[in-house]
Chains A and B, each alone.
Chain A
């Protein structure tokens, strides 16, 4: 027995030592942390508590129950009534501090203050989710909801790996580890990564974009990288409106690469280009039957963003202030349908942290010792700025309310900037301590988010 214990102890010790020394397993460790937190979120948060879950599942269910794909057919009022009854059973109105309606409305039309239809939403997520439900043969309503939450987590795990890969090319393994670790302990990101919502897929598109943009700037085969950037943008645009800024990024990144990057060879990547182009042609042919109607629906979905007129609310200074505060706070932690915010002190400290990190980035840009990261600063800063501009242009200008999750497609470059910016204030010999401090700060804040907000709300 003693020998067994000593053998196991030695094995565990050598394994941990290997992990620590090599650092090669760091991405896997971070994904493990993230997946465990995601599993806790799935176990604790009741069905329908993440934003817009009822509408998204309703559309997925309609597609999954079709024997032949018929995208224009997007509503099943009877199923909406089933969802509404399930929402009542799981205390959805109680969590919104409202009395549960009795009788429960017949369809989503009976809950106009909270539920809107998804008839014009871009289709990619719904098709993917419908395929998962069909392949899994899952028919029970709540089981479907949980299956799609696990699917979201499965999409979020590679998102972290893309964040790691992109940050590593531009800022090195140290910053990649730090930025990815901060993302893994970000409470709102974990919640949205376990939601029945296209958010997980659009976040993956954004992370792939970050990774490929970093590759384009750092000498990877240019044609293949551009093909993947285009692919991520297309999937993103056909996934969610918050993917629209990817179009602007796709136009901007080649210019940044031309000005500041080291564009890789074109010829060496012809097989990849042919493969990518062939894939796009096949997808295009398969999609021909529904592509144009989807483009038309996309136009309708984006119509408010294409009006280019200022809403009356947007002319009010107070609305800009509230919009900015709401966007920022809900990007860190406001659980439920914006019902359970983090403590105000918590949010204030997070605002302060971002201001300090932003200042650090400006300091870092000027420091010769950090010159190698200037290209990374420029790319990450541009992506974050374009996403923020897209959110303001699409929502604030039109007088709509903000939600911080719309910023998550650029959470990779954002966290890279936070990580490097927090360190840039300090001489390099202190960076080990700063790293410990920054991670501990985030972990403690995450613990407060769970222990003070999420768990008390839902247990």
Chain B
């Protein structure tokens, strides 16, 4: 009579684990998911719109820049890091030569209704060629980032330092009050309308913020420490997973009574 040997399979053992390779693959997958998530979160664009008036069916062109008028728009920024204002300009005249001047002021609420040119604080001034400003439907007035812009009131002024009536420059505006706290002014006189604009904070990736806070050397040190932390994390996780094979071993508490 032939002896029949009962086959023992690893899965029959009470604490059997899957092969190490599969666990290694699972660990690798966890590491990839983690690092991919972190990378995405660090570089994802977080541009924030802090104040905006859209172009609608009620929008119209405010003209007069070529005649030397100064057009202004006040707004309250709803986010920190204001660094650009987008405006909509068109050139309908015979020439697109000349320059537009743009200035950004910080104003207090009671100054908003005052005549333009009061005791406001000039933050930044720039010039842009008319053909640049009118080449696309929207043009960008970039300003140095303002860290603590949330909740503060600003005014942007646009004018032609050397007026050219033939340029026929116009800025799109919308009837009524779209941005709640803003208003359009022409030569300091308020109108029941607002320029079509958007004030944004674009220095809004976590990476840019880290760079701004820590600088080059600090950021390098931060990356090294982050690499150390991640290495420790996955080595630690590997150790925990390895001990799963003996989960329940080493418990000092008394068993059931």
Contacts and interface: CB of A to CB of B under 8 A. Distances in A.
Interface stretch (B35-43, B99-107, B125-133, B188-196): B35-43
B56 to A, nearest CB: 29
Interface string A69-109: 00000000000000000000001001001010000000000
A21 interface: yes
A354 B34 CA distance: 21
Looking at chain A, what size class is its interface with the partner chain? 35 or more
A404 interface: no
A372 B248 contact: yes
B248 A172 contact: yes
A353 interface: no
Contact of A459 (B44, B206, B241, B247): B206
B253 A432 contact: no
B34 A440 contact: yes
Nearest to B26: A436
Interface string A33-73: 10011011001100000000000000000000000000000
Contacts of A171: 251
B122 interface: no
A255 interface: no
B248 A439 contact: no
The A interface is mostly helix, strand or loop, or mixed, namely helix
Nearest to B237: A439
A447 B228 CA distance: 16
A175 B212 CA distance: 41
A173 to B, nearest CB: 5
A192 B1 CA distance: 73
The B interface is mostly helix, strand or loop, or mixed, namely helix
Interface in B179-237: 204, 206, 209-210, 212-214, 222, 225-226, 228-229, 232-233, 235-237
Interface string A162-174: 0000001111111
Interface string A417-441: 0000001000011111101110110
B236 A33 contact: yes
Contacts of B46: 456
A217 B253 CA distance: 6
A444 B254 contact: no
Interface stretch (A23-31, A293-301, A392-400): A23-31
Contact of A455 (B33, B206, B238): B206
Nearest to B204: A456
Given A169-B253, A260-B254, A433 B23 contact: yes
B185 to A, nearest CB: 24
Given A26-B240, A173-B243, A447 B251 contact: no
A432 B17 contact: yes
Interface stretch (B8-16, B65-73, B83-91, B159-167): B8-16
A374 interface: yes
Nearest to B17: A432
Contacts of A21: 242
A376 interface: yes
Interface centre among A19, A39, A177, A218 (most CB of B within 10 A): A177
Contact of B212 (A37, A375, A459): A459
B206 A23 contact: no
A210 to B, nearest CB: 13
19 contacts: A23-B242, A26-B240, A29-B232, A32-B232, A36-B228, A94-B151, A97-B151, A168-B250, A170-B252, A173-B246, A174-B240, A177-B236, A375-B254, A433-B18, A433-B23, A440-B33, A451-B37, A452-B41, A456-B206
Given A21-B242, A25-B239, A260-B254, 9 more contacts: A30-B236, A37-B229, A169-B252, A174-B246, A436-B23, A439-B240, A443-B30, A444-B34, A455-B206
